[in-house]
Chain A
Amino acid sequence: MESNACAEKDRVVVTVLDPKFKYEIAKEPGGENIKYCFQCGTCTSGCPVAELDSKYNPRRIIRMAILGMRERVLSGDFIWLCSTCYTCYERCPQDVRITEVMNALKNMAVRAGYIHPAFRAQAELIAGHGRLYEVDEFTNEKRAEVGLPALPSSAPEVAEIYGVTGLDSLLSGKGA
């Protein structure tokens, strides 16, 4: 006989829900419209990632966030799977701006200590070189061969910006 009970890991435990979570998200840049979501699922039905892997489901993530499942949302790998294609953003009938809500959640996850290693690596590379890829001597030689101008291998002002905003201490684990 089929059981109606869901798996332990999927169970929503009311006592650990945080009713203030959605208001915090709404205060983040990009998170302002989260409370408008009425769960129609237009986002998930057009999502190119959800089509391939059900562990990314934007409607479900927003539902979890509105319910107040703070830890599960912020510590989960799934929020990092948004490919930022903006298809849901364009189609959402409630203007929830889902792509930006995902960015807000990722920003909150970073502050809660859950930065995804790939995004940490990118952020650190940019601080070091001013770009995702270092313009080294070899690159400038290749550029010169085809008549393109040399570029600097670093941009110290970028690291300074990380200092101004506190992202440098966040990345080093000292908190902002």
Chain B
Amino acid sequence: MKYAMFLGCTVPVRNLSYELSAKRVARELGIEFVDVPEFSCCGYPVKSVHHETALLLAARNLALAEEKGLDICTLCSACTSVLTEASRELAANEALLAKVNRSLGAIGRSYSGKVRVKHLARVFYEDVGLEAIKRVTRRPLDAFRIASHYGCHYLKPSEIYDHFDHPEVPQSLDRLVEATGAAPVDYATKKECCGGAILGVDENIALSMARAKLDDIKANEADAINLICPFCSIMYGANQRKIQAKFGTKYDLPVLYYPQILGLAMGIDAEELGLSQNPIKPKALLAKIS
């Protein structure tokens, strides 16, 4: 298992703990990650503005991975959707590939259509597998109830993801949580969107969307939220105190990335997993472990 690690915009600047923990657990799972510093934004934020530009940004990133002979593993769900969509369109449509290559030629790049894209959680779920994750779990998190937030672009549009999980009845993240010994929490709003994509358009609606889910997860007595997308983390983690202040609610819900949860179960030190950098410190959770 060897992948070019695609960091995107938010992870390498605002969510170092995600990158850190992903790389740390990968070392023990036989996944080799290669850094490609030339990678840029995936193209997602530009797709609403100018479709062709977004496609070219995605194609340039795919071309960089192809130069290294590697497939891409993404950490952000929005990056996953835009890069997967571009990789599939360009592999299936020769005329489009030729057109994209005429434009890429102007910046000295070319792409032949070979690169495939997978989200980190899907790599854990499909390539590593639940059995292998159970085997590396040396410190089962059986004292914890963890609520997974699937987010949107990890699962949808499902047609570009080979239907590896069901968008209406998703289970991959709950099974991954279960493999660490923790109890997956079922809750009514599990599939709902975090609102992150419209935070800059209407903060009130976006924060209300995030609030509904925090209310639900809290009511279901989860010890923590399991996340796999840095933008969802901005909504539930970085903005959790703002939501509390705005709506007069109280959560103090630790928000962890899956590789941090897995790392804890593997017995890796919290500091190596970047847990001290999480916006809501999982103090009670760590106390329960030690």
CB pair A85–B193 under 8 Å, yes or no, is yes
CA distance A150 to B37 in the complex (A): 8
- Residues in B whose Cβ lies below 8 Å from that of A115: 49
B200 is contacted by which of A90, A106, A121, A164 (Cβ under 8 Å)? A121
Q: Mark A76-88, 1 if CB is under 8 A from B, else 0.
A: 0100111111110
Known A49-B205, A132-B41; contact A161-B200, beta-carbon cutoff 8 A: no
- Residues in B whose Cβ lies below 8 Å from that of A77: 201
CA distance A61 to B14 in the complex (A): 35
Known A81-B205, A157-B60; contact A87-B156, beta-carbon cutoff 8 A: yes
B20 at the interface (CB under 8 A from A): yes
B171 at the interface (CB under 8 A from A): no
A83 to chain B, nearest CB (A): 5
B249 at the interface (CB under 8 A from A): no
A162 at the interface (CB under 8 A from B): yes
A92 to chain B, nearest CB (A): 11
CB pair B274–A165 under 8 Å, yes or no, is no
CB pair B156–A158 under 8 Å, yes or no, is no
CB pair A161–B103 under 8 Å, yes or no, is yes
- Tally the A-B contacts, defined by beta carbons under 8 Å: 173
How many interface residues does B have (CB within 8 Å)?
55
Q: Mark A84-100, 1 if CB is under 8 A from B, else 0.
A: 11110110000000010
- Residues in B whose Cβ lies below 8 Å from that of A81: 198, 201-202, 205
A133 at the interface (CB under 8 A from B): yes
Q: Which residue from chain B places its CB closest to the CB of A115 in the assembled complex?
A: B49
Known A53-B205, A90-B167, A148-B20; contact A132-B40, beta-carbon cutoff 8 A: no
Known A85-B193, A121-B200, A148-B19; contact A170-B12, beta-carbon cutoff 8 A: no
- Residues in B whose Cβ lies below 8 Å from that of A35: none
A154 to chain B, nearest CB (A): 9
- Residues in A whose Cβ lies below 8 Å from that of B47: 103
Known A85-B156, A89-B156; contact A131-B51, beta-carbon cutoff 8 A: no
B168 at the interface (CB under 8 A from A): yes
CB pair B10–A157 under 8 Å, yes or no, is no
- Residues in A whose Cβ lies below 8 Å from that of B56: 161, 164-165
B51 is contacted by which of A48, A49, A103, A148 (Cβ under 8 Å)? A103
Known A52-B205, A164-B103; contact A106-B48, beta-carbon cutoff 8 A: yes
A102 to chain B, nearest CB (A): 8
- Residues in A whose Cβ lies below 8 Å from that of B23: 148
- Residues in A whose Cβ lies below 8 Å from that of B200: 118-119, 121-122
Among B17-76, those with CB < 8 Å from A are 19-20, 23, 35, 37-38, 40-41, 45-53, 56-57, 60
Q: Mark B95-128, 1 if CB is under 8 A from A, else 0.
A: 0000000010011110000000000000000000
A126 at the interface (CB under 8 A from B): yes
B272 to chain A, nearest CB (A): 9
CB pair A157–B35 under 8 Å, yes or no, is no
Q: Which residue from chain B places its CB closest to the CB of A47 in the assembled complex?
A: B193
A41 at the interface (CB under 8 A from B): no
Q: Mark A11-40, 1 if CB is under 8 A from B, else 0.
A: 000000000000000001110000000000
Among B188-238, those with CB < 8 Å from A are 191-193, 195-198, 200-202, 205-206, 208-209
A123 at the interface (CB under 8 A from B): yes
Known A90-B167, A122-B200, A161-B56; contact A131-B40, beta-carbon cutoff 8 A: yes
CB pair A161–B57 under 8 Å, yes or no, is yes
Q: Which residue from chain B places its CB closest to the CB of A160 in the assembled complex?
A: B107
Q: Which residue from chain B places its CB closest to the CB of A111 in the assembled complex?
A: B50
A167 at the interface (CB under 8 A from B): yes
CB pair B168–A131 under 8 Å, yes or no, is no
B interface residues, Cβ below 8 angstroms from A: 7-10, 12-14, 16, 19-20, 23, 35, 37-38, 40-41, 45-53, 56-57, 60, 103, 106-109, 152-153, 156-158, 167-168, 191-193, 195-198, 200-202, 205-206, 208-209, 274
A-B contact pairs, 18 of them (CB 8 A): A48-B193, A52-B205, A83-B193, A83-B198, A85-B156, A85-B197, A86-B157, A86-B167, A87-B193, A90-B156, A90-B158, A106-B49, A119-B45, A120-B49, A122-B49, A123-B50, A131-B9, A143-B12
